[in-house]
Chain A
Amino acid sequence: MSAGLARAAHPFTSGAVALALALLAMLAPAPTGPPVAYAAVCVAVIATGVGRAVLIGLAVSVPLWLLLVVMHGVLGEGARLATPVGGTLSISGLAWAVEQGSRLAAIVTASLGFARAFDPHRFLQAAIARRWPFAAAFLVVATLDAMTRFGEQAIRLREAQRTRGLRVRGSLRARARAVPALIFPLLLASLTDADEQVLALETRGLTAPGRRTAIDPPPDTRLDRLVRWGSLLVVLVAIWIRVR
């Protein structure tokens, strides 16, 4: 597979594959299924050119793994196993921690792989070409755009407030006192921003009825369709195996 395959694929294909991988991770039978599913997801995201999702996925998953080991391994009930470093762990709790930790890591990595491959512009064009409701597609893209804008604004605001003496570290009380100074301006900015956008949206006929034409829709190749139907088939087979 070539590098960047996930980004080159039709936007619906990468979404369908990510969803299928997440569902397969949930359906995989314990004890070996979930770790194998996690390994398969890692291989899939690396092979399709979004391998960084594995590293970011690890950063998200490691705290969850630690909490799972503490909650179910250390504090779990039932027969216990001595550890080489002293102390004991619940055998059934540890098994659950491995099972659930693998499932969660697989889902996180698949989600992040999709997020890294996601291009809002291509998604909007694909949605228009497939005659999806324009409002729904617009909301996804406008939200991602707003997130970037407000994220940058939050950083600027925090730095501006810090130069005015705001403390964002230290005691719980000091950190709690920083909350209003950081979030009220953001909340007010979001409302005024939305107020200003209403006119622009009305002028561009966002809610006007009728079909829209995609300017440069991403190609939906035979391979894309094959992968999407294949993903659906694999999930259906996994469900059938699980419930029979």
Chain B
Amino acid sequence: MSPRLFALIPAAVAINLVIGRVVAELALPVYLDTLGTMVVAILAGLPGGLLVGTISQLLAGMLSGYQWLAFVPIQWLIALLAAGAARSGGFASPWRSGLWGAACGLACGLVSAGISYLLFKGVTAGGVTAIGALFRSLGASLPVAVTAASLSTDLIDKTVAFLVVGALLRALPRRILGRFPLAARAVGR
């Protein structure tokens, strides 16, 4: 592992957890707790993103319960899709970022709904469960309510996350961008 990746990983994990907390304090219907995973997957490639996602979930588990380790595959999926988007210039414009974010949101929403329903019967984090309860009160069955809640929250969350990371990459100075060929490709430079 290169010293650059060694330096990036702790910062990215901290960003995942700290920004997740900042956004939670704003009481918004998004989490933005995977930005660090995405940034490292784009700057340093998929293995770095997978590592950041795993460590983030391990530390989040230590601070709020190991049961959330069940959602590690979501972090891996985000790293995979962020690296894929970077390879195909998916962050070159806000439109492209938004489309990749929506695709990522759909994929993560489906996987997350499966984990949430099978392991937790739909009761996980506050916001998404409240939306699930709303769908239930409207007459939807539990699997439908859990899937609809996960899809709607993940769609918004991942679209916003991809837009934020895209804006960040496009704003990066050439000095920094020049050290990360994949990131330069992501923004089409």
How far, in whole Å, are A188 and B11 apart by their CA atoms in the complex?
Answer: 11
Most central of A115, A138, A193, A194 by chain B CB within 10 Å = A194
Q: Contact check: which of B13, B133, B164, B172 meets A143 at CB < 8 Å?
A: B13
Cβ distance A202 to chain B, nearest Cβ, rounded Å: 5
Binary contact track A114-146/B, C-beta < 8 Å → 1, others 0: 110010000000000000000100111011111
A100-B120 contact given A147-B13, A191-B176, CB 8 Å threshold:
yes
Q: Which of A84-116 contact B (CB under 8 A)?
A: 96, 100, 103-104, 107-108, 110-112, 114-115
CB distance from B4 to the nearest CB of A (A): 5
**Interchain nearest-CB distance for B3 vs A (Å):** 4
Q: Are A179 and B2 in contact (CB under 8 A)?
A: no
Count, chain B residues at interface, CB 8 A: 56
Please determine whether A111 and B62 come into contact, CB atoms closer than 8 angstroms.
yes
Interface flags for A145-181 (1: CB within 8 Å of B; 0: not) read 1110111001000100000000010001001101110
Is A72 on the interface with B (CB-CB < 8 A)? yes
- A151 to B20 Cα, complex, angstroms: 11
Number of interface residues of A (CB under 8 A): 63
Whether A188 pairs with B168 at a CB distance below 8 angstroms is: yes
Bitwise, A56-78 to B at CB < 8 A (1) or not (0) is 00001001100110111001000
A142 touches B10 (CB 8 A): yes
17 A-B Cβ contacts within 8 A? Answer: A64-B123, A67-B130, A71-B142, A111-B63, A139-B55, A144-B59, A146-B13, A146-B14, A150-B18, A168-B26, A176-B28, A179-B164, A183-B22, A184-B171, A187-B168, A188-B171, A195-B7
Q: Give me the 9 closest cross-chain CB pairs, A-B, nearest first.
A: A108-B65, A146-B14, A142-B10, A197-B7, A143-B10, A190-B11, A194-B7, A146-B10, A201-B3
Binding site for B on A (CB under 8 A): 19, 22, 60, 63-64, 67-68, 70-72, 75, 96, 100, 103-104, 107-108, 110-112, 114-115, 118, 135, 138-140, 142-147, 149-151, 154, 158, 168, 172, 175-176, 178-180, 182-184, 186-188, 190-195, 197-198, 201-202, 206-207
